[in-house]
Amino acid sequence: MKSTMPKSVVIRGTGSYLPEKVVSNDDIAKFLDTSDEWIYARTGIKRRHIAAEGEAASDMALKASLRAIESAGLTPADMDLVIVTTVTPDMLFPSTACILQAKLGIRNNIPCFDLEAACSGFVYGVEVAARMMQSGLYRNALVVSSEKISAMVDWNDRSTCVLFGDGAGAVVLSASDEPNIGILGSVLGADGSDNAMLRLPAGGSLMPPTRQTVEKGLHFLQMDGKEVFKHAVQIMKDKALEVLDLCEVSASEVSLMIPHQANVRIVESVAKRLHIPMEKVFLNMEDCANTSSASIPIALDSAIRSNRISKGSYVLFVAFGAGLTWGATLVKM
Residues in contact with ligand COA by the rule CB under 6 A:
34, 38-39, 42-43, 119, 158-159, 162-163, 223, 225-226, 228-229, 262-263, 290, 320-321
Catalytic residue among 25, 49, 112, 119: 119
Which DSSP state fits 290?
A: B
Instruction: Put residue 323 in one of left, alpha, beta given phi > 0 → left and psi -120 to 50 → alpha.
Output: left
Spatial separation of the C-alpha atoms in residues 218 and 156, rounded to whole Å? 13
Exposure b/e, 301-332, CB count within 10 A at least 16 = b: bbbbeeebbeeeebbbbbbbbbbbbbbbbbbb
DSSP H helix total and E strand total for the chain = 10, 13
Give the residue nearest to ligand COA (CB). 225
Catalytic residue among 25, 247, 260, 263: 260
Q: How far apart are the first and last CA of the chain?
A: 30
119 part of the active site = yes
When the beta carbons of 82 and 294 are compared against ligand COA, the nearer one is 294
When the beta carbons of 11 and 163 are compared against ligand COA, the nearer one is 163
Spatial CB neighbours of 272, under 8 Å, sequence gap ≥ 6 = none
260 part of the active site = yes
When the beta carbons of 2 and 226 are compared against ligand COA, the nearer one is 226
How is 60-93 classified by DSSP, letter by letter? HHHHHHHHHHHHTT--GGG-SEEEEE-SS-SSSS
DSSP-derived pairing of the beta strands 47-50 and 222-223: unpaired
When the beta carbons of 34 and 213 are compared against ligand COA, the nearer one is 34
Closest CB 159 distance from ligand COA, rounded Å: 4
When the beta carbons of 132 and 296 are compared against ligand COA, the nearer one is 296
How is 85-116 classified by DSSP, letter by letter? E-SS-SSSSS-HHHHHHHHHT--S---EEEE-
Percentages helix, strand, coil for the chain, rounded to the nearest 5? Answer: 40, 25, 35
Which positions are annotated as active-site residues? 119, 260, 290
